[in-house]
Structures are given as structure tokens and as C-alpha cells.
Amino acid sequence: MTLTILIWLPLAIGVAVSALPPALVGRATAILSLAPLGVAISFLARFKIGHAGLQFVTDHTWISAFGIHYKVGLDGLNVALVVLTTVLFTASMAWSATREWERPRLFYFFLGLAQSAVLGAFCAQDLFLFVAFFDLMLIPFYFLTGMWGTGERVRATTKLVIYTLVGSFFMLVAAIATAVLASNAYGTSLTFVLSSLQHLQLSHTSQDWVFLCFAVAFLVKMPLVPFHGWLADGYRSMPIPAVAVFSGVLSKVAAYGFLKIVLPLFPYASVHYQTLMLVIALVSIIYATSLAFTTTQARLVVAYSSVAQLAFIVLGIFSLRPQGGQGALLQMLNHGLVTAPLFFIVAALAVRCGGSEDIREMGGLAFRAPVLAALFLIVILANLAMPGSSNFAGEFLILLGVFKAKLAISVIAFLGVIGAAVYSLRVYIRTMHNPLGPKAHSHEISWRDALPIAALVVVILALAFYPQFGLRRSDQSLRATMAPAEVQDGLSPAAVVAVTGSGRR
């Protein structure tokens, strides 16, 4: 059972189901999508904790001319994210399966393709392979948004793709440059394999511009201010399952890229631009938060809140402290689990308000929909990272890391925590509480809608009791990936051990 199977299984399913009559495709996909989930969980189960290195590695030469390998593997950084991916995609497919889609075969094919691409991006251990998957991820969403979206879908999807591909293309150049310059500098043969590139550090000047290219690609994908131009339109037009996985998983790929590629490969630049990145993240937090409690579109509240969350993640990564990194990883997991059900719930709310997602027209929905209200409450509390939720554990670690790195920034970042409480509760109260809204016709959530949400809520609650689940596997790998930057930052490995080890008496 190699990773390759896991990666390509969803696509295979997507292709296979297109043989079925359209009526059945949805259910079939939803059921079959349990297979990748199962496989992923089996990997999680077999994952050996306490190893920094890769596990379940598959390594074939793909393009020998460039030393490009098809190398996939799991380590502490991506194992949880892989599982998250399968979980969210399964949830989305389950959610879609109970609805009518025109051209269903295509729809589920693209969903499958998307899942394969995301899994590939997470598992890729070769720089070029990662770039390829990273760009490939976009295509299915281009179609999903353009064909099944709402409103100005074509405009929105074009904007989305161009915005993100602009970044990706720069990243392509940067990636190739990384390999080429490295091989020139050290006289080795051209290779894109991350593990080997890690030993071929680039000169400081090249690191600087390469880093910026990567950063742009990732920041656009997340997106952070000021690269969020596509966000509002894109999220507003995407069909719910697509937007759920997009903000749940795809944005994580970018964050993961920082952790997996940028930090180990360009430690000098990471330290050099640390403050810049932290400031960008900080600005995004403040900015997205203020937008989130201004906008009246329920969906956009979620969208902007995820921008803020991702900003927190970046904050954690670029604290260049293991606590921050761990927090970021945990937060990736949590945010994915929270944002997807939120989008499903937004859809459910829209159904109860004549299709409108404007919170001004909602209100008092909790009446006659206590289950929906309860689910929503749990998710929203997790979203505002209430202590006791795993999100809080993540934010706690992130902010602790930043606190150690740059005190002032962490203090300001706490404004984001408060803001999160404000806008989350605002959207909850404006929809669920208060007098009955003008268009509101509340009724209890149906099983088919509740199932994916409830499943995810269960996971959220489980994590809330045991956040360690998201931390214990990544510990070693994270230290490994952070080490170069830390050394570069002046904290020698010894110092690192001192800082981190002091707690464990």
C-alpha cells in the first residue's frame, strides 16, 4: 500500500464513476471516497512517532534530464494534513452527493482530480513535483467555480486562476533557479529532490529573490493582504463543496510550503525577511478581522476569518520558533476542520433565508433548529479559538512562538484574537439569535445536511479534548525543518534544546 495509491485513488474514482448513470454518480463517489480516507487513516496508524525523517517513501526518477524525481513520502509535517485532506473531501462529497448537479460526472471528476492534486502537493518530496501539483490543484477549481458557481462565476474564476497562477509561475522560475543555481554553485548534477537541495544552500543574494518568488506564490494562494484581490469574488462564486475544500485545504498547501520548502531551503532569506512576513501577517490579521465584522455576507465573514487564521499560521511559521511552527501545524489542522463545516452551515442558513447569505435578512433561526444552532455554536466557538478548543492550543503555541521572537508583534496580534470573538459571535447572533429576520423561515436541519457537519464537529470535539493528537507526530520533523532557520537566526541548536527542553523536567 504505497502513497502513490493514496494520491491517485481519488482521481481513479472520479474517472471510474463516470461510467455510472448520472443519478448514481454522486452517492457512488461519496461512498467510494471513504476509501482514500481509510487508506490515509491506515497510514496515520502505521506512522512511527518520534522520527524526524520520511516514512513510506516512494522514489522514482520522473524526468532524468533534470534530476526530477517522483518522490513522495510522509513525515510529521504532512501526515496530519493528508488525513485532513481526505476527511474534508469526503465530507464535501457526502454533502454534494445529496444534491442535484448538472453534469455530475464532470463535477465529481474534478473533485477527484482536485483531491489527488492536493494530496500530491502535500506528499511531494521533490521541489518540482510540488510545484507541478501546486499549479495543477488550481485547474479543477477553475472548472468547479466556472461551471457550477454562482453569480459572476466566469469572471471570478478567471480572476482566481490568473491571480494564483501569477504567483505560481514566479514560483516555477524560482524553483528551477534554485536547482540550477545550486548545481552550478556546487558542481553537482541537477536535482530537485528536497532532501538533497537542503544540503546545497544558495548564496544569500539568490536566496533573497528566490524566497520572494515563493513567498508571493504562497501568499497569493492563502491569501494574505495585499494579495487577496481574488478572495471576495472567488469565494462568493464557488460552489459550497469547492469553497469548503479550497479554504479548508488548498490554503494550507501554501502554508505547508513555507514550512516544508522555504524554511529549510532558504534559511538566510527566511531570517532576513522574517520581520516583513510577520508584518504582512499582522496587517492581514487586523485587516481581515475588521473586514469580517463589517461585511454582511455570511460567507465572506467565514472567508475573511480564514484569512485571519492563515495569517496567524504564517505568524507562527515565521516566528522561526518551534512553538510557533507546532502551533501553525496544529492550526492548519484545526482551521481546516472548522472552516469547512462553517461553509456547509452558511449554505444551510441560506436555505432558510430564501437563498440569501446576507445576515441582515437572517435572525432567530435557532428557533425550530436547535441542532443546527448547537452545531453552529460549537463550530463558531472553535473558530474564535475559544480556550478548550484545539484551535486555542494552536493559537497559544503560535503566539508563544511569536512572543519569543518579537514581543510587540505578538501583543498586537492578540487584537486579532479579540476581533475573532467579535465577528464570530456577531455572525452567530445575527443569524441564530435576535428577533426573526425578514426572510427567515427556520426549520430543523435535515440528516443529509447534518451528517457531514456533525461528523466534522465530532472530530473538532475530539481534538478539543486531545490536541496532542495534532502535535505528537510533528514534533521531531518540525524541529528538523526549523533548525536551519533557527541556527541562521542565532539560536544555535544547543540554544534550541535549552529553550525547548527546559520544560520537560
Partner 1 sequence: MTATTFGWLVLLCPLVGMVVIALGYKVLPGRTPGWIATAAIGLSFACAVVMLVKLLDLPTAHRQLTSSLWNYASSVGVNAKMGILVDPLSVFMVLVVSGVSTLIHLYSVSYMSGDRGYTRFFAYLNYFVFSMLLLLLAGNFLLLIVGWAFVGAASYLLISFWYRRTTATRAGIKAFVINVVGDVGLVLGTFFIFTHTGTLDFLQTFAAVPHVFHHNSTDLVVGCLLLLVGAFAKSAQVPLHTWLPDAMEGPTPVSALIHAATMVTAGVYLIARMHPLFELAPTAADIGAVGGCLTLLIAGTIGLTVTDVKRVIAYSTMSQIGYMIMGAAAGAYSGALFLLMAHAFFKALLFMAAGSLIAAMAGNQDLDRMGGFRRALPFTFGCFLIGGMALSGLPPFSGWFSKDDILAFLDHRGGGFEIMGIAGYIGAILTAIYTFRLIFRAFLGAPCPEAKELEEGHLAHAEVPTNPQTGEVEDTDVGFPGPEHHIAEREWPMKVAMGTLAVLATVGGFLEVPGVDDAIRRFLEPSFSTSQLAASVPSTGADWIGLVIGAAIAVVGVVIAYRIWVLAPGTAAVIRERFAPLYRLFVNKWYFDEIIDYAIVRPAQWFGQVAETVIDRTLVAEGITGGTVSVIGAVSAAVRRTQTGFLRYYVALMLLGVSGVVIYFLVAG
Partner 2 sequence: MTRVPPIHIAATHIKGPPIDWVGLAPFVTLTIGALLVLLIGLLRSPIARERIVPALSVVTLAVTIGYEIATFHHQTSIISGALRIDDLALILDLVFAIAGLAAVILSVREPGATDAGHGEYHSLLLFSILGMAVLVSAQNLVTLFIGFELLSIPLYILCASDSRRAASLESGLKYLVIGSVGSATLVYGLALIYGATGTTDFVPISAAITGSSVQPGGLLNDPLLLTGIALSIVGFAFKASVAPFHQWTPDVYEGAPTPITAFMATATKAAAIGVFLRFFDVAVIGVQSTWAPLLAALATITIIVGNVGALGQSSTKRILAYSGVGQAGYMLAGVVVGTQLGITATVFYIVTYLPVNLAAFAVIVARQRQRAGGEDLSALAGLGTRQPWLAWPMTIAMLSLAGIPGTVGFIGKLYLIRALVGGNYTWLAVMIVVGSMISLGYYLRVVATMWMSSPQAESASARVPAGGRPAIAGGSDEADAADAGGWPTPDRAVANAEVAAVAVLFGAAGVFFGIIPSPLLQLAAHAGRSITGIF
DSSP state of 98: T
Q: Does 128 participate in binding partner 2 (rule CB under 8 A)?
A: yes
**Proportion of the chain in helix, strand, coil states, percent, rounded to 5:** 75, 5, 20
Q: Count how many Cα atoms sit within 13 Å of the Cα of residue 318 in the half-sphere of its side chain.
A: 31
Looking at beta carbons only, is 44 or 425 nearer to partner 1? 425
Among 27, 51, 433, 439, binds partner 1 (CB under 8 A): 433
| Closest CB 191 distance from partner 2, rounded Å | 12
**Backbone dihedral angles phi then psi of residue 160, each to the nearest 5 degrees:** -55, -50
The β-bridge partners of 502 are none
Q: Does 143 participate in binding partner 2 (rule CB under 8 A)?
A: yes
**Backbone dihedral angles phi then psi of residue 62, each to the nearest 5 degrees:** -100, -65
DSSP state of 71: E
Residues in the chain: 505
Alpha-carbon distances, residue 186 vs 61, 65, 125, 180, 189 (angstroms): 21, 18, 21, 10, 9
Ranges within 207-226 binding partner 1 (CB under 8 A):
226
Give the Cα separation of 206 and 191 in Å (integer). 17
Looking at beta carbons only, is 335 or 479 nearer to partner 1? 479
Give the Cα separation of 259 and 92 in Å (integer). 27
Q: Does 386 participate in binding partner 2 (rule CB under 8 A)?
A: no
First to last CA, the chain: 40
Among 8, 35, 44, 169, binds partner 2 (CB under 8 A): 169
Contact region for partner 1 (CB under 8 A) — 90-98, 132-140, 190-198, 410-418? 410-418
Cβ-contact 324, 398 below 8 angstroms: yes
Among 47, 143, 235, 287, binds partner 1 (CB under 8 A): 287
Looking at beta carbons only, is 17 or 217 nearer to partner 1? 217
Q: Does 114 participate in binding partner 2 (rule CB under 8 A)?
A: no
The size of the interface with partner 1 (CB under 8 A), counted in residues, is 68
The size of the interface with partner 2 (CB under 8 A), counted in residues, is 36
Ranges within 135-164 binding partner 1 (CB under 8 A):
159, 163
Q: Does 414 participate in binding partner 1 (rule CB under 8 A)?
A: yes
- Choose the contact partner of 63 out of partner 2, partner 1, none; CB within 5 to 8 A by kind: partner 2
- Where does residue 151 fall: left (phi above 0), alpha (psi -120 to 50 degrees), or beta otherwise? left
> Is omega for the bond preceding 467 within 30 degrees of 0, making it cis?
no
Residue with cell 529549510: 264
Q: Does 79 participate in binding partner 1 (rule CB under 8 A)?
A: no
Cβ-contact 302, 346 below 8 angstroms: yes
Cβ-contact 450, 371 below 8 angstroms: yes
Ranges within 26-55 binding partner 1 (CB under 8 A):
none
The footprint of partner 1 (CB under 8 A) covers 159, 163, 226, 228-229, 232, 287, 290-291, 293-295, 322-323, 325-326, 330, 364, 366-367, 370, 374, 381, 384, 386-388, 392-393, 396-397, 399-400, 403-404, 410-411, 414, 417-419, 421-422, 425-426, 429, 432-436, 465-468, 471-472, 474-475, 478-479, 499-505
The footprint of partner 2 (CB under 8 A) covers 62-66, 103, 106, 128, 131-133, 135-136, 139, 142-143, 146-147, 153-154, 157-158, 161-162, 165-166, 169-170, 172-173, 176-177, 180-181, 184, 190
